[in-house]
Amino acid sequence: MYDRTIRRRRLTLAALVACSLLLLTAYFGESSDGALHGFQRGVFSVFVPIQEGASTVLKPARDLVGWVGDTIDAKGRLGELERSNQNLRARSIAASDALRVNAQLQGLLNFDNAGGLAAAKPVTARVIGQSPTVWYATVTIDQGSDTGIRAGNPVINSDGLVGQVTTVTGHAAIVTLISDGEMAVPARISAGGAEGIVQTGAGGPGDLRLKFIARRYRVDPGAAVVTAGTLANSAGLQSLYPPGIPIGAVTRVDDPGTDAQKIYLHSYADLQKLEIVQVLTAAINGNRP
């Protein structure tokens, strides 16, 4: 039974192949006006509208599938671009931060060499906190007594005097800025030598002044003010600050040439944007000029 079925299928397949060959031979052998060509054109004319209709009906579905595929691909590419952008942004920020810090360190090195402060055994530190109040101006640094820092040590940055250490722990210290109302720095006019005290005035931290300058001294706007150093011979009166550290420039003088003259300063160091500082841990020749 099984063999007869197989033979029947083979005979049918052979008959179909033979018919196909006969039709193809007749089709290519007749002219374009022949019966087979006419039959082809009739079938084509019947199925073309059906094909166009099916294509029109199925187009939204094809478009939807294509849109979904394109959206998935686009989201994948967008995710890759975002990750690449984040990586580039992180590298750019790190490079920018490194350049800024390096510039500050180079500035401190130049400042130490120019001012002869290398002998003061400077310890470089990073500012890790700042006082939230306006009137009590302090910052916290990430170095302390473990690196030789003690209370009273002067603190500078590449622009000039910042303040002095007032509280110390093993790994950190608090620096009180020269803009704090409790600070008083012995100072002098760099060019003329007139001596006084740098303190904040009644206007608060931004009101930095050079006080107690005798009226016989003429002080002009733009004059540089620096630390005075030790002036007395007594060991108990030695200055905490080495001489010649820049403090600020005179911005204006009210009532000049009188006992009531007021000399206003602008600090060279930007006390609101401190990042890298140095603590001078050793006195230089008793901090004498």
> Could you read off the pLDDT of 112-124 as tens digits, one per residue?
676 678 888 999 9
First to last CA, the chain: 126
Task: Give CATH for domain 120-284.
Answer: 2.40.10.340
Q: What is the predicted pLDDT for the residue at 122? A: 92
The structure tokens listed for 136 are 């009590």
Calculate mean pLDDT across residues 164-177: 94
Q: Using CA atoms, how far apart are residues 229 and 241, in angstroms rounded to an integer?
A: 6
Q: What is the predicted pLDDT for the residue at 123? A: 93
Owner of token pair 């979904």: 68
Residue 215 has pLDDT above 70, yes or no: yes
Distance set, CA 222 to CA 136, 219, 252, 255, 265 (Å):
28, 9, 8, 17, 9
Residue 222 has pLDDT above 60, yes or no: yes
Calculate mean pLDDT across residues 87-94: 71
Q: What is the predicted pLDDT for the residue at 175? A: 95
Owner of token pair 């206007």: 203
Q: What is the predicted pLDDT for the residue at 257? A: 79
* High-pLDDT (> 90) share of the chain, %: 29
The amino acid sitting at 132 is: P
Q: What is the predicted pLDDT for the residue at 1? A: 59
Higher pLDDT, 184 or 95: 184
Distance set, CA 261 to CA 102, 213, 217, 273 (Å):
42, 8, 10, 31
Kindly report the average pLDDT of the chain as a whole number: 78
Q: Using CA atoms, how far apart are residues 279 and 124, in angstroms rounded to an integer?
A: 6
Domain boundaries defined on the chain: 31-115, 120-284
Q: Which of 142-146, 161-165, 192-196, 220-224 has the lowest mean pLDDT?
A: 192-196
Residue 21 has pLDDT above 80, yes or no: no
